Amino acid sequence: MTSPPPSAGPSVDLGLDQQLCLALYTASRAMTGRYRWTLAGLGLTYPQYLVMVLLWEDGPSSVSAIGQRLSLDSSTLSPLLKRLQATGLVTRTRATTDERLMIIDLTDRGRAMQEEASHVAGEICASTGLEMPDQLELTEALRTLAVQLDAATRRASTTHSESSAI
């Protein structure tokens, strides 16, 4: 197996504390931990909360659409949705137009939870210590970063596949 081609960018020697990956990882863990504490009263995990927010915004959605929007694969999403169904927050039904599609919808209890959860976003925002314009700017920068990293990974994968086929 050959190693990926070297980066076209300049060589940079960064210490552990200057690594972007560590800063993102620790920030992600801290954010998830903060959500865990806030969501405990609702009986939701962080990924379950994300699904609920998506359904509150978009309404009934296919499992594949939920997975794509939240960047979750089906092996993570399916058990999560089954647990939400078991708690009476969502329904899972086959689409009438295509039985391969599973449609997830809120129950009355799931819709009512939106009001119960209305404090969550504000509480988390306040926990960051950032003003709303700064939070929105950071959110956009992180989305851009994710898109760029995904594209770079696809390019590297394609380049690697092409070079190993030679």
Whose tokens are 């119960």? That residue is: 116
Name the band, by pLDDT with cuts 50, 70 and 90, for residue 100: confident
How far is 80 from 86, CA to CA, in rounded Å?
Answer: 10
Domain regions of the chain by residue span: 38-128, 129-159
* Stretch (H or E) spanning 101: none
- Per-residue pLDDT tens over the stretch 108-132: 999 999 999 999 999 999 999 999 9
Provide the pLDDT for residue 86. Answer: 98
The mean predicted confidence, pLDDT, of the chain is 91
Tokens of 109: 């209890």
Which tokens belong to 152? 């770079």
Q: Which residue has the tokens 């863990």?
A: 29
* pLDDT band at residue 98 using 50, 70 and 90 as cut-offs: confident
Averaged over 12-36, what is the pLDDT? 94
Q: Give pLDDT, residue 8.
A: 57
**pLDDT at residue 161, as a whole number:** 67
Evaluate if residue 77 carries a pLDDT over 60: yes
Handedness of CA 123, 32, 69, 21 (dihedral sign): positive
Class of the domain covering 38-128: mainly alpha
pLDDT surpassing 50 at residue 35: yes
Q: Which of 39-43, 53-57, 99-103 has the lowest mean pLDDT?
A: 99-103
